[in-house]
Structure 1
Amino acid sequence: MTSGSGTSDAPVAALSKVEVPAYAKWSRLAIKQTMLKYPHADIKDYLHIATDSKKVTNTEKFQLWLKEEEREFGVLVTVTYSAETGKFIRIDFQEIPVN
């Protein structure tokens, strides 16, 4: 009898090829810092909006949707980091008013 090892490894091989987006590191930071800035709010949704690469700095922009008691609102989070070293520089928050 043969062991049939050819098919049992296929799912693991497929999973190992899944690429992590380049912005994943910064999305974790954006979510963590948003939770610190708005400790009584729940993050309901998250979206990576854009990557902006410059010569000196790069930015990653995210939109998070929060709910705090009866209030729901959006927050634009911009993470700026060094293009050369990849080190964090700053994070900015801008609330999006709800009509």
Structure 2
Amino acid sequence: MRKILVSFLTATALVSVSSLPTVLTHSTNAQQKPIPPYAKWGRVAMERTHKKYPNAQIVDYLHIGRTPGANSSVEKFKLWLKEGQREFGVFIDIQFENKTEKIQKVTFKESTR
């Protein structure tokens, strides 16, 4: 009985270990996603929001979209903040030059929804 149990455990361990690299490879590949083009502007939105509301935690993040223009574009986000017992949304618009990506203006508008 002891030999059978040891053989079973050894065989199970070999199967588990031999399949481990395959499982890790597949799960690693499944987690890699391309970085969206708005990621840079999302970081700017969160940094600027943190400066404006230093005591608030960013609870949620939404990329609304981009409004393209001839010379400049506007990237739009909505962040959900929690400050103490208060929860509120903030719409952030980041206007930037298309060629240089230099930020021209960042605006904030609070929302209860």
Query: Match for 1:55 among 63, 70, 79?
Result: 70
Q: Say yes or no: does 1:34 pair with 2:49.
A: yes
> Over alpha carbons, which structure has the higher Rg?
2
Note the aligned Cα RMSD (angstroms).
2.2
How many Å separate the matches in 2 of 1:39 and 1:33? Answer: 10
Higher strand share: 1
The Cα shift of 1:97 comes to 2.6
The Cα shift of 1:25 comes to 0.5
Structure of higher RCO (CA pairs closer than 8 Å, 6+ residues apart): 1
Count of residue pairs the alignment pairs up: 91
How many Å separate the matches in 2 of 1:18 and 1:96? Answer: 31
Q: Say yes or no: does 1:83 pair with 2:98.
A: yes
The Cα shift of 1:26 comes to 0.6
Provide the TM-score with structure 1 as the length reference.
0.80
How many Å separate the matches in 2 of 1:85 and 1:14? Answer: 34
The Cα shift of 1:45 comes to 0.3
> Where in structure 1 do 4 or more consecutive aligned residues deviate above 2 Å?
none
The Cα shift of 1:92 comes to 0.5
Q: Say yes or no: does 1:93 pair with 2:86.
A: no
> Which consecutive unaligned segments of at least 5 residues does structure 2 have?
1-21
Between the aligned residues of both structures, percent identity stands at 41
Provide the TM-score with structure 2 as the length reference.
0.70
